[in-house]
Each structure stands twice: as structure tokens, then as C-alpha cells.
Structure 1
Amino acid sequence: MPTPYGAEFRQDVIDVARKGEAPLAQIAKDFGLSITTLKRWIAISERKDSGAGPAAAESAEMRELKKRNR
């Protein structure tokens, strides 16, 4: 399913939100988003930036190892 917002737009909104110059609710309203969407985008961005969770290659490797163990 294609995303209705491009990656560049998402990053721009996240950058504005991270500056902290306005409340998230106001930023979401200004960009025509729901506050929930904005919070989710920020959370996803933070996970990517922090490197939390397994990378895609590690995840695929883990699935393969679980198959072998069974």
C-alpha cells in the first residue's frame, strides 16, 4: 500500500517537530496531520536513529535460524 505522504515531507515535518518551537498538536494541524500520525512518525524516526531493534538482514537471519532449529 503506497504511503500518502512522501519520505521528504515526513522528514520535514519531523525536523520541525524536533525543533520544539511549537506544540506537536499545532505542528500536526499546520501540516494537515493528526497528532497520532505525527507522534508515530517521530517514534519510528527515533527507532531508526537509535538503531534499536534488529536490522532487516539480522531479522531474516534470525528467521532462518529458527527454521533450522525446528
Structure 2
Amino acid sequence: MSGSSKYPEQFRKDAVELARSSDRPLRQVARELGVNHETLRNWVRTADRAETASPGSVSTSEQEELRALRKRVAELELEKEILRKAAAYFALVRE
């Protein structure tokens, strides 16, 4: 759930739990809490997505970092291969 809301995080969590556990329609729960029903619906959807995300999933920033690290590893492997060939070449030339 977003931290840029005018509603405190705990209020949003409690509202989601109330909406899930209540027999009343979401609109009625939202009205009783004094929030827009679409706002409450979005909170519930966000919470559902967070709960269904696999524990091994990575965030967008982590995906970007992983992509950059993989690129760097590829560069280093290429450099290592070039140095290995150069070392082999100079070993033959010295003989």
C-alpha cells in the first residue's frame, strides 16, 4: 500500500480487513469508514496483489539491478577470455 495517502497505513490495513471479513457490501463499509468506495476497493486489490505475489518475486528496482549486474558479469567474462587468450599467446611467443 502506498505511503503517499492521507490515510494512515494502519487505518488502510484495518479497513481492508474489515471489508474482507464483513458480510456488508464494500460500498457500505466504505461509507461507514468515511472513504470513497473506489479507494477502499483499490486498497483491497493492492493488498490482494501483495499477498499473492510469490515470496521469491523481485521488485522493479531489483530487476533493474539484476539486469545491470548480469551485463557487468558478461563484460567481465569477455575480458577474462581475452586475457586468457593473450596469456596463452604470449606464453607461446616466449618459447
Task: State the TM bucket, normalised to the shorter chain.
Answer: 0.7 to 0.9
Give the Cα separation in 2 of the matches to 1:42 and 1:31: 14
Shift of 1:3: 1.8
- In structure 2, runs of 5+ residues without a counterpart are 72-95
Q: Partner of 2:47 in structure 1?
A: 45
Runs of 4+ in 1 over 6 A off after TM superposition: none
- The one-letter amino acid of 2:63's match is M
Larger radius of gyration: 2
Aligned-residue sequence identity (percent) comes to 27
Whether 1:55 aligns to 2:48 is no
Report the CA distance shift for 1:14/1:24 in structure 2 as closer, same or farther (over 3 A). same
- TM-score, normalising length from structure 1? 0.76
Deviation digits for residues 1-21 of structure 1, max 9, x if unmatched?
832111110011101100132
Shift of 1:37: 0.2
Say how many residue pairs are matched.
66
Give the Cα separation in 2 of the matches to 1:60 and 1:51: 16
Give the Cα separation in 2 of the matches to 1:33 and 1:41: 11
Q: Partner of 1:18 in structure 2?
A: 20
Report the CA distance shift for 1:28/1:16 in structure 2 as closer, same or farther (over 3 A). same
Shift of 1:51: 1.0
Over aligned residue pairs, what C-alpha RMSD do you find?
Answer: 2.3
